[in-house]
Structure 1
């Protein structure tokens, strides 16, 4: 296996880690409007991800940085062609981080409500747009012989891509609901489990349609295996969630996300960005990669740094592993 093939796999792993971790972050943000009934319950939901949300975003920075270093032509075409949706995602992530930090800075109902609106919308939009972006990467976009994107924004808003956005939005929200059931107590836990059952069915229907469409368009034997794993994992997650086995249900919802991402990358390989203008102009792991020397240096650095990052994040989740409930949230101070 060539180093550019190895880095294609590593980038797929990084995106899988990002969607697994940031997926339930986005889901919790959406659930602050769908699940929480009052300010205390919203604080409970936000506190479930409070210690970890910013660490989860490290995976996005690493995935983008690895793409830039390992496949500069892919990075250039992707970020120039998808400039507007990626800019919206970036702005949302910035505003979302500010909202988490600023929400409690003032004891004013309107102030908190506005930041809570920001948390909801800046979680919902990226969850949808990531699906649109990756669906377009797999489907292909107009690319010329100079490896430049030649399409327009409407080209990205095709039915397949929009369905991909629905899949990531519903799947991440389901993932967040299972995480909320795992991390909370009392009525919030009970309602989160019930909502996860409904969201899982919606996500399953959308995901099945999207994955079958993907398999028919550009699938192969390996992607078919990933499709089967994704569907089976989601079905088992729903059963375990119904039985109150939140830990296993969360693990299986994560497997579902990982299998969906794996299927997309397996259907994409050896391309990294197909051209709908002329297949000969598609970006591939070989014609879009950096030099072998660059990839070799990157491999050594990844081998050293990745275990450290995994150990640190694992320790963080272990420290903040306990459940929380509304009784842990102090009542507001009245003047």
Structure 2
């Protein structure tokens, strides 16, 4: 395996980590409208991710930085062709971070309600748009002989990509509901479990259609295995949730996210962005990569920094591992 192949795998791992962690993060944001009955319960949900949401976004920064350094042609074509949806995701992430920090700065009802609305929409929109973006990457977009995207924004809103956006939205919200049941106490915990059951069934239908479509169009033996793992893990998460085994339910929902993302990358390789105009114009791990020397330096840096980041983030989750409930929310909020 050459270094450009290694870095394709590493970037896939970074996206798996990002969607695993930011997935339940987005899900909690959506559930502030769907699950919480009052402002105190919204605060409980927000507090479940309060210490970790910004650390989860580090995986996105790492994935973007690694793509820029390891595959500059992929980065340039992706960010120029998908400029508007990626800009919208960026704006959502900025507003979302501000909303988390500013919501409790004042006690006025209108102030807090507006920031809570911002948290909901800036969680929902990226959850959809990431699915649309990756659906288009796997399906193929209009790339010409100069490695430039020549399509328009409306070309990105095709049925396959839109279905991908619905899958990521429901899957992330299901993942968030399972996380909420794992991290909360009392009535909200029970309602989170019931909500997870409904969301899981909806996700199962949509995901089976999307993954089956992907497998039929682009798949091979390895992607079929990943698809089977994703489907079995989702069913196991539903069973564990019904039995009240919340830790296992969260583990299996996370495996569902990881296996689904892995399947997309398996169907993509050795391409990084296929061209729908001409297969010879595909961006691949070979023609889109940096020089071997650059990849070698990056490998050494990643080998040193990655374990440190993983240890620190793991420590953060361990410190804030306890459940919270409405009884832990001060009256001022």
TM-score, normalised to structure 2, is 1.00
The separation in 2 between residues aligned to 1:207 and 1:78, in whole angstroms, is 25
> 2:172 maps to what in 1?
172
> 1:130 maps to what in 2?
130
Cα deviation, residue 227, structure 1: 0.3
> 1:294 maps to what in 2?
294
The separation in 2 between residues aligned to 1:203 and 1:303, in whole angstroms, is 36
Matches within 5 A, 1:264-303: 264-303=264-303
User: What secondary structure does 1:103 align onto?
Assistant: helix
Large movers: runs of 4+ above 4 Å: none
Summarize deviations over 1:29-66 as a string: whole Å, max 9, x none: 00000000001100000000000000000000000000
> 2:58 maps to what in 1?
58
Summarize deviations over 1:164-199 as a string: whole Å, max 9, x none: 000000000000000000000000100000000000
Summarize deviations over 1:192-211 as a string: whole Å, max 9, x none: 00000000000111000000
Consecutive unaligned residues of structure 1, counting only runs of 5 or more, are none
User: What secondary structure does 1:104 align onto?
Assistant: helix
Consecutive unaligned residues of structure 2, counting only runs of 5 or more, are none
The separation in 2 between residues aligned to 1:90 and 1:240, in whole angstroms, is 35
The separation in 2 between residues aligned to 1:53 and 1:262, in whole angstroms, is 23
The separation in 2 between residues aligned to 1:72 and 1:332, in whole angstroms, is 50
Matches within 5 A, 1:11-50: 11-50=11-50
> 2:88 maps to what in 1?
88
The separation in 2 between residues aligned to 1:162 and 1:252, in whole angstroms, is 25
> 1:157 maps to what in 2?
157
User: What secondary structure does 2:272 align onto?
Assistant: strand
Q: Matched residue pairs, number? A: 333
User: What secondary structure does 1:272 align onto?
Assistant: strand
**RMSD of aligned residue pairs (Cα, Å):** 0.5
Matches within 5 A, 1:316-331: 316-331=316-331
Cα deviation, residue 330, structure 1: 1.3
Summarize deviations over 1:298-317 as a string: whole Å, max 9, x none: 00000000000000000000
Cα deviation, residue 332, structure 1: 2.3
The separation in 2 between residues aligned to 1:220 and 1:138, in whole angstroms, is 14
> 1:209 maps to what in 2?
209
TM-score, normalised to structure 1, is 0.99
User: What secondary structure does 2:144 align onto?
Assistant: coil
